[in-house]
Amino acid sequence: MDKRLQQINELLIHYSLGNFDAKVELSQRLDDIDTFISGVNMLGEELKSTTISRNYFNNIFHSVSDILLVLNMDGSIQMVNRAAEKVLGAWENELLDVPISRIFCNLSPQAIREMLWHAGQSDETISIRAELKFKNRKFIDADCSINLIHNEQKQRIGYLVIARDLNKVKEQAKKLKKAENRYRKIFQETSDTIFICDSNFVIQEINRAGLDLLGRDDVKPTHLWQYFADEREKQDFEQALKRNKSIRNFAMRLKNFENRIIDCLISINKADDGTSNYQGIIKDISHRKELENVVIKTILHTQEEERKRLAKDLHDSLGQQLSALMFYINTLRDNEGISHQKVSEILAKSYDAISNAATELRNVCFNLMPRTLENYGLEHAIRELCSKIELHGILSFKLLMEDSCPRLNKDIEITLFRIVQEFINNSIKHSRANTISIDMSHTDEQLFIRLKDNGIGFDIHAVSSSGGMGLGNIRSRLALYHGSVIINSVKGEGTTYEITINYKTDKDTRDEKD
């Protein structure tokens, strides 16, 4: 027996198992058996192509969410998709050969036959409203369409019924409406200006915040360019948009319908709705600019006050000691016949003046920048400051400070030291306190400092409303370093500062800058 016949038998077994890639090689004889083998190989290719097409069709057929029913020319069900099985509560084998009239409960068999006949004759889509039901399932209200099916030879072989559950459509419409309302609410209630403009940058829609910003009462189309107060900014914006198709946080000065100039940041990009529209956001940063100006004024005021304090310290302390020293030297120079004893006395006084001047100079330098603060940190500098003041018997201190407090950014340590120094000075000059408590602790991210005196206290609201820079100055300086302060004062009970610094945030910011 020719072994090729055995190979053909094995090849057919492969095809029966779905392995359509199997083949038998032709021999050198090229006889009738080889011709048959060639035909079987071609059959495998055709089976493979047909199977792939069928699988592709089945994947689409069963993934459709609408109900799909394939009928033969007599109107009996030949195939259903998974959506139909789920809605009708039956498997495909239960629905096979069931007349469609048993599914369309509100239509008579005669009406269905006429409908199918009309679809077959006109070759047009027939649309109907029907109630679908099978066995004891509840009615399904559906929109249905019926189409004629042809084979490759253009012969009529059946019908395709597509049914859409109207209850699901209504539920989806409700969900879409709910989502639309939710996004519409966000669109209208956000504090930033949100706008949509066409490809020519004519604003078509804008939210309430945008109307307020532009000083308008309606949404009449206006060109985006007309709101640029500066012509150069407008040109830069246009050029950037042409290059990048989108812009983020472009600084602009906006001129609204009330002729107000407002500092803003504008971001714009193409809308992802399939249109040529643009969508954008405008942030009003005028308030932020005002705060920045306040901070700058506060810094300048602080620097000026520091200069005045330094000048006063030099004049009142070091200046007086140097003036005394100059007087003693002039006394020695202008009196040649002065006695030896008198010279000794003047020299002794000169030495004392020099010694006092050196001490005052060290004090001035300490007030400017304590070396302890620079070398050992805030906790050691505060302890040194308190010990110097205690030597004069003016105040006593209760210190509760952790030795493990971390070193901070140099500018933060200076700011905190100055605030502690200012609190102590105010307690001496104004509060008439005799005891100050200083508590300092920390977590992994925050540093806490609590300053409290037992002085006479003051009216915080009265001080704030008087326009004084003191308390606002402290808050502004701390705000620069992600810090805050809570100030409490009760007349007769003293004053308390509770300071918080987010030094972790500051470290992250410095790392980014570095």
Tell me, yes or no, if the pTM score tops 0.85. no
Mark whether 412 and 438 lie in a shared domain. Answer: yes
Indicate which CATH number applies to the domain containing 97: 3.30.450.20
Nearest to 394 by CA among 452, 437, 360, 435: 435
Identify the helix (H) or strand (E) that includes residue 184.
Answer: helix 166-189
pLDDT digits (tens), the chain, 514 positions: 567 767 766 776 776 666 777 887 887 777 767 777 787 778 777 766 666 556 666 777 788 788 888 999 988 999 898 888 888 888 888 899 999 888 888 888 888 888 888 888 877 788 888 888 887 677 788 888 888 888 777 788 889 888 888 877 777 778 878 877 777 787 777 889 999 999 889 998 899 899 999 888 876 778 899 999 999 999 999 888 888 878 999 999 999 988 999 999 999 998 877 788 999 999 998 887 776 666 666 666 666 666 666 666 666 666 676 777 777 677 766 666 677 777 777 778 777 777 777 776 666 655 555 677 778 888 888 888 888 888 777 789 999 987 777 888 888 888 898 899 889 888 888 888 989 999 999 988 889 999 999 999 888 776 655 444 567 778 877 887 888 999 999 888 899 999 999 876 544 444 444 4
For residue 348, the SS3 value is: helix
Give CA–CA dist 189/207, Å, rounded.
Answer: 8
Residue 92 domain-assigned (yes or no): yes
Q: Domain boundary at 227, 260, 284, which? A: 284
Mark whether 384 and 324 lie in a shared domain. Answer: no
Residue 88 domain-assigned (yes or no): yes
Nearest to 211 by CA among 199, 220, 202: 220
The neighbouring-strand residues paired with 140 are 132
Buried-exposed string 411-450: b where 16+ CB fall within 10 A, e elsewhere: ebbbbbbebbbbbbebbbeebebeebebebebeeeebebe
Mark whether 264 and 292 lie in a shared domain. Answer: no
Q: Domain boundary at 247, 263, 284, which? A: 284
Q: Domain boundary at 311, 341, 368, which? A: 368
Write out the residue range of the structural domain in which residue 23 sits. 3-60
Mark whether 381 and 488 lie in a shared domain. Answer: yes
Residue 355 domain-assigned (yes or no): yes
Q: What is the pLDDT of residue 254?
A: 93
Q: Contact, 429 vs 458, CB < 8 A?
A: no
Residue 185 domain-assigned (yes or no): no
Indicate which CATH number applies to the domain containing 470: 3.30.565.10
Residue 87 domain-assigned (yes or no): yes
Q: What is the pLDDT of residue 2?
A: 63
Which pairs from 125-129 meet CB under 8 Å and 24+ separation? Answer: none
Buried-exposed string 162-184: b where 16+ CB fall within 10 A, e elsewhere: bbbbeeeeeeeeeeeeeeeeeee
Mark whether 417 and 459 lie in a shared domain. Answer: yes
The region, left, alpha or beta by phi > 0 then psi within -120 to 50, assigned to residue 494 is: left
Give CA–CA dist 442/199, Å, rounded.
Answer: 55
Mark whether 448 and 476 lie in a shared domain. Answer: yes
Mark whether 357 and 424 lie in a shared domain. Answer: no
Mark whether 504 and 382 lie in a shared domain. Answer: yes
Strand order in the sheet with 278-284: 222-223, 202-206, 193-197, 278-284, 261-270, 247-255
Residue 135 domain-assigned (yes or no): yes
For residue 484, the SS3 value is: strand
Q: What is the pLDDT of residue 184?
A: 77
Mark whether 294 and 389 lie in a shared domain. Answer: no
**Cα atoms in the 13 Å half-sphere on the side-chain side of 380:** 11
Identify the helix (H) or strand (E) that includes residue 222.
Answer: strand 222-223
Mark whether 141 and 214 lie in a shared domain. Answer: no
Mark whether 254 and 210 lie in a shared domain. Answer: yes
CB-neighbour burial class of residue 110 (10 A; exposed 0-12, middle 13-18, buried 19+): exposed
Residue 179 domain-assigned (yes or no): no
Residue 503 domain-assigned (yes or no): yes
Indicate which CATH number applies to the domain containing 11: 1.10.8
Mark whether 274 and 355 lie in a shared domain. Answer: no
Q: How many domains does the chain have?
A: 5
